Structure 1
Amino acid sequence: MSDLKLARIPDRTPVKVSISMMPDLHAALQDYARIYARTYGREEPVAELIPAILSAFLESDRGFARARAELEKEGAT
C-alpha cells in the first residue's frame, strides 16, 4: 500500500429525502430563493437551496457540534 498525501475521498453519493412542510415555511423558502437570485444574480430552485441552508445551520450550531463530538467519543470507546 502506498503512502499517498491525499486521503481517500469520502462517499459523495447524494441521498434523496422527501419532506412535507407547512405552507408558511414553503412560502418563506420561495421568498429566500427570490432574494438569493436578486443578491447573487443567479436563480436556484428551492430544492437546491435547502441542503445548503441546512448545512449552514448545522455548521453554525455550536451546541450541536459539541454534542456530536461527544457522540463520536462515545462511539470510539
Structure 2
Amino acid sequence: MIKLKLSAIPDDRPVKITAELPATVHRDLVAYAELLGRETGQTVSNPAKLIAPMLARFMMTDRAFSRARRDTKSR
C-alpha cells in the first residue's frame, strides 16, 4: 500500500486563482490524482483540486515557515 501525504479532500469554499503549470508538473498531478483515487476510493475528477491541499500540507510541514509565522504572531 502506498502512503501518500494527502488523504480525502475536504469540501471547503474556494478562492479562485489562475496559475500556469509546466506540462511535467501537470502530468505528475494527474498521476497523483489517479493514485489518490485508488488509495482512498474517492475519484478526483479535477486534479487541480489537489493543488490547495498539497500547498497547505507543504506549508504545514515547512519548519522555517512555521517558526517565522509563530515569531510574527508573537510580536
Q: Report matched runs for 1:1-77 at 5 Å.
A: 14-44=14-44, 45-74=46-75
TM-score (norm 2): 0.73
Quick check: which one's helix share is greater?
Answer: 1
4+ long deviations beyond 3 Å:
none
TM-score (norm 1): 0.71
How many pairs align?
Answer: 63
Q: Taking CA–CA contacts closer than 8 Å with sequence separation of 6 or more, which of the two structures ends up with the larger relative contact order? A: 2
Which protein has the larger Cα radius of gyration, Structure 1 or Structure 2? Answer: 1
Change in Cα spacing, 1:67 to 1:32, as seen in structure 2 (3 Å) is same
Secondary structure of the residue aligned to 2:52 is: helix
Shift of 1:31: 0.5
Shift of 1:13: 5.3
Please report the RMSD computed on the Cα atoms of aligned residues, expressed in angstroms: 1.6
Gaps of 5+ in 2: 1-11
Percent of residue pairs bearing the same amino acid type: 32
